[in-house]
Structure 1
Amino acid sequence: MNGQITVSRNELLNKLTAVGKVVSNKSLIPCHDNFLFEINDGVLSVTGADREGNITKTIECVSQSMENCKFQIEHKIMLDGLKVLPEQPLIIDVEIKGSSGNATLKHESGIYRIPVISNDDFSVIQQKAGETIRPITLESHVLVDGIKKVIGFAGHDELRPIMNSVLMESKEGKLTFTSTNSNMMGIYEVFNTDLDDFNIVLPLKFGKIISELADGIDTIELQIGSRNLTAMFGDTKIVYRLIEGNYPNFRAVIPRDNDKEVKADVKSFNGALKRTSIFANKSSLLVSLSISDQNLTVSGKDDDFQMSAQEQMSVEYSSTELIEIGFKSEFLLQCLNAIDTPEVRITMRESNTAALISPVYDEGDEYHSLTILIMPMMIAV
């Protein structure tokens, strides 16, 4: 079979870069090292895949003798070749004999030949025929913001894949996104939605990909199957296998009786933490917070090297009782970096119980909320 495709170099590179986000550097399935090209009715579809899911994007093209044709090209060679070409109409001549052949890329100053594979062994995840599908349509910024707010708090434990995920739950008009590890947990809630109730566990890779590709899109359609999730927006279709199992009851560990509240300027607090953490023990990264009389003292020390640092700042404190509590500076800084308001609220009860961190929202901005749980560290006497 011989044929020809004419397509914009920039368009093709942009689409392949997007679908290439799912391609692993060392795939266990040989065909997943390739891009799948399919041509139907003058539209070129390009697909990248791994064992857990796949992304497809479409491009308008001019084709000759290539209808209902599909072939594979090694993804790294294709991407690297396109990156060094200038923008111009790109002519791709495809010659296939049996299960293999060549694709010749022609532009104004050169010709490049790439091997192609023509067979049906490119495996993809897809919804089963006749499977009951639950369609959900929502504004993409809600999905993107929800994933981005919490995905950094997810675990990376191969033995507990359910923790390497983002829980997305809709219940009684409230949409909740949650990720957690053994040290921190992020909970982002959007109120007064008109979504039906559902509960799905998104793999981390899917969450990262969709939060990048769907950013700036108006709406997104989700199709929830028994084992897979399909997301469709613009010229993009993503199908990914859901993580099986029950997500832990995260609400059971959220403290309800934290009676000491601190409000602090995020920028000042962040700066004090960064500076004092330089002098903290390099193994524990422990910093201590001492709060009393509208004053916060941030301390870090390393007795092994006789180093220490201490900074003070004014805060709003709801209690007259002194509290001293320790945190791993790396984790506390990550929590502060998730706060997108000028002020941060921290609630605590004791030095050995979980603290809650949240933004201080302006009036009228209560349609959503972010709560971060962080476990304390023991302060050596």
Structure 2
Amino acid sequence: MLIFKKKRRRRKKMQISCKREELLKGIQTVQAVVGTKSTLPVLANVLLEAKGEKMDMTATDLEVGVRCSVKVEVSEPGAITLPARTLSEVVRELPSEEINIKVDEKSRVQINSGQAIFNLMGLPKEDYPALPKFKTDGEFSIDRESLSEMIKKTIFSVSQDETRYVLCGIYFHVEKGKVRMVSTDGRRLSYISKDIGIDKKKEVKVIIPTKAVNELNRILTQISTREETEKEGKVRINIEENQVGFMIGDTILISRLIEGHFPNYEQVIPKSSEIKLKIKTEALLQATRRVALLTTEKSNSIRYSLKKKELVISANTEGLGEARDVVGVDYAGKEMEIAYNPQFLISVLRNIGCEEVCLELTNSLNPCLIRPTTGEDYISIVMPMRI
């Protein structure tokens, strides 16, 4: 659970005006972390705090918190919390770009736009948990695009089994000037490493929960479509007291960390392989997706059959039918047949981001190692299924 600070109770009026697009941008940034199943009613709200020439918007479920700033004209500074879902729906349907919001001492909120008027009941700021603050002495930075890429290439291998809680997140390891991200669910593993140019003496080993990683990725994706991309090119990271904070421009995401020890992933990475195949990524992806159409939840395997100069991909599901496709490969060795979960392969091929991949195999019982041919320090491992 996030660590919050207590505040003195003091209610204020508030009055602002802003653009509908600007307010929607803020709502979209914070709304996804709003607590929907909490016993605390205020966690279904978003906190609005107006001061200076901006308004901070905050949402949390006590595990993950997000705060961002939007441009507003502040006539009277103050704060209020409003139901996130209602606020979002109202703002989306307002008839004009100009919005005026007034709050009185009894937490009653009036929203005006054009001829439309909405009167809502809010809850005071004092009822809302405050996000923790971080010191800056342990802060380090990573390029926004690099972080987004690393998340994209590892998030799909995270476990969904809550009984194995240490696998329900991404292992974030900083050492010798490099950052590594690793994820596994026991049947597949994804690993990526990048040199981020920080102090080589700095060392960090933490597990970041899946929800926090997904929210971070969503925020990074939103920012990449906005004009201020260049200004927000770096993500500042701070880790302390079992919590992590990611600062991107005026947006901050804070999350608790998963306690426990991540398994020794290096033990499962094959040190050598007998067969190395270079295959066009898109051709292999499309053939795998086509054949996977003839699989079901109960019969969810496809076969990769290596033959001379071709890789035959097939599926045979009782009561449904069978499918077969072929991808050309430079192979002249002995024939071999391996079964895989097609969704595991599709996830890798869809996110690997290169024209050609290298498949490293040994036999039908050993894992398949997939890496880009570009030399990037990235691998994904998929365990075979019984034939």
| TM-score, normalised via structure 1 length | 0.89
Partners of 1:182 and 1:133 lie apart in 2 by: 36
Structure 2, unpaired ranges of 5+: 1-11, 225-231
| 2:114 pairs with one of 69, 85, 108 | 108
Quickly say closer, same or farther: Cα 1:82–1:264, change in 2 above 3 A.
same
The equivalent of 1:206 in structure 2 is 212
Paired residues for 1:275-286 under 5 Å: 275-280=290-295, 283-286=298-301
The equivalent of 2:271 in structure 1 is 256
Report % sequence identity.
Answer: 22
Structure with the bigger percentage of strand: 1
Larger displacement relative to structure 2 (338-347 or 277-286): 277-286
Q: What is the CA-CA distance between 1:281 and the residue it aligns to?
A: 5.9
| 1:134 pairs with one of 121, 135, 138 | 138
Q: Is the contact between residue 207 and residue 258 of structure 2 (CA under 8 Å) also seen in structure 1?
A: yes
Structure 1, unpaired ranges of 5+: none
The equivalent of 1:150 in structure 2 is 154
Q: What is the CA-CA distance between 1:10 and the residue it aligns to?
A: 1.3
SS at match of 1:340: coil
SS at match of 2:172: strand
Paired residues for 1:1-381 under 5 Å: 2-64=13-75, 66-67=76-77, 69-97=78-106, 101-127=107-133, 134-191=138-195, 193-195=197-199, 196-215=202-221, 216=224, 217-280=232-295, 283-302=298-317, 304-305=318-319, 307-317=321-331, 320-361=333-374, 366=375, 368-379=376-387
- What is the CA deviation profile of residues 242-268 of structure 1, one whole-angstrom value per residue up to 9, with x for unaligned ones? 111111111111111222111112222
Q: Is the contact between residue 54 and residue 70 of structure 2 (CA under 8 Å) also seen in structure 1?
A: yes
Structure 1 segments, 4+ long, off by >4 Å, are: none
Provide the aligned C-alpha RMSD in A. Answer: 2.1
- What is the CA deviation profile of residues 60-109 of structure 1, one whole-angstrom value per residue up to 9, with x for unaligned ones? 32223x33x32211111111000011442211111123xxx311111221
Partners of 2:273 and 2:378 lie apart in 1 by: 17
Partners of 2:257 and 2:147 lie apart in 1 by: 16
SS at match of 1:347: strand
- What is the CA deviation profile of residues 282-301 of structure 1, one whole-angstrom value per residue up to 9, with x for unaligned ones? 52222111213222122211
Q: What is the CA-CA distance between 1:54 and the residue it aligns to?
A: 1.1
Q: Is the contact between residue 142 and residue 196 of structure 2 (CA under 8 Å) also seen in structure 1?
A: no
Q: Is the contact between residue 284 and residue 328 of structure 1 (CA under 8 Å) also seen in structure 2?
A: no
- What is the CA deviation profile of residues 219-245 of structure 1, one whole-angstrom value per residue up to 9, with x for unaligned ones? 111111121111112111221111111
SS at match of 2:88: helix
SS at match of 2:122: strand
Quickly say closer, same or farther: Cα 1:63–1:176, change in 2 above 3 A.
same
Partners of 1:275 and 1:337 lie apart in 2 by: 14
Q: What is the CA-CA distance between 1:310 and the residue it aligns to?
A: 2.7
